[in-house]
A = this chain, B = another copy of it.
Amino acid sequence: MKKYQVVGIGNALVDVLWECPDAFLAEHSIEKGIMQLTDLASGAQLYDQIGAAKEISGGSAANTIAGIAHLGGRTAYVGKVKDDQLGAIFAHDLRAQGADYDTPLASKDHEAETGRCIVLVTPDGERSMNTYLGVTEFLSPSDIDEGQMAEAEWIYLEGYRFDGAESHAAFEKAIAACKGAGGKVSLTLSDPFCVDRHRDAFRQMIRDHVDLLFCNRAEMLSMYQTDSFEGALSEAASEVEIVACTDSENGAHVLNGAGRWHAPAMPVQIVDATGAGDLFAGAFLWGLTNDHDLEACGRMGCIAAAEVISHIGARSEADLKQVFADKGLI
């Protein structure tokens, strides 16, 4: 048995959550529902204008890994924070959840700080994100421990991490070490605009290395530059072993060479949509690495996504394993 079911690599961020009126987005020309990158100064300027906030550890792949750890899975995370207070908070929360986390810290004299994401949560529960990457942008191949990657049944790569000079090389190193030891590779497309920025690199990685592709409808359409969701799903399914595509209130579609399954979305009052896709992937990977069938994995993903959007913050709070048991999934 490998030491880890899943090792995730992504942007290590602390979320700064503010429940904001819709008018604020319009006044600040912020597009609803997407992630926008910013520098420290612009991020600080936006921060000056938002209301009293809550700080909760986030980061897309980190949310996924925290979810797997929350379910009792054997897991680790790779992402860079600084030796500062927000870095300490990020590391604490991930380890407290049960994940291994040993990425070398950026030193106190690094000019950037630990990354953070201002998450504007509108009354409809939608989240619009403004990310200062900080030191997490500087994740490099030297931060990848090949021994750890070889100990992973699956690695999970965050699409957002395609924004970064050395991150493609870091991903390549991780993929080679994992696959060389018989492991498999999953990737999340993260965001339609992120797909836009890196379409060719994504496409090549999908074709060459990816065994399991996570995405949502908008990312899928952006990836394959089409208006046909079915066409894009088929194209993706021809390129990877498994496709798991979420579709908001329509649930999720799971495809492999042998078939296709649909998992319904759980009815839920959306408080904060942050983390829905992340927890879908976490529960899906937990199910997969515990030998559940793809339909069950999809259903677990939809349950975990529903839980995380029912409260503020992008990490699981309820006992998901109990809910899986109540639904007869485990």
Contact = CB atoms under 8 A, between A and B. Distances in A.
User: Binding site of A, secondary structure by majority: helix, strand, loop or mixed?
Assistant: mixed
A56 interface: yes
Interface stretch (A82-90, A166-174, A244-252): A82-90
Contacts of A89: 53, 55
A128 interface: no
B54 A92 contact: no
B57 A56 contact: no
A129 to B, nearest CB: 18
A96 B85 CA distance: 21
A89 B17 CA distance: 12
A96 B50 contact: yes
A51 interface: yes
14 contacts: A19-B317, A50-B96, A51-B97, A52-B57, A52-B66, A52-B92, A52-B94, A52-B96, A52-B315, A53-B93, A54-B55, A55-B55, A55-B56, A85-B85
Interface of A: 19, 47-48, 50-57, 66, 84-86, 89, 92-94, 96-97, 113-114, 313, 315, 317
Closest 4 CB pairs of A and B: A55-B55, A52-B93, A85-B85, A51-B96
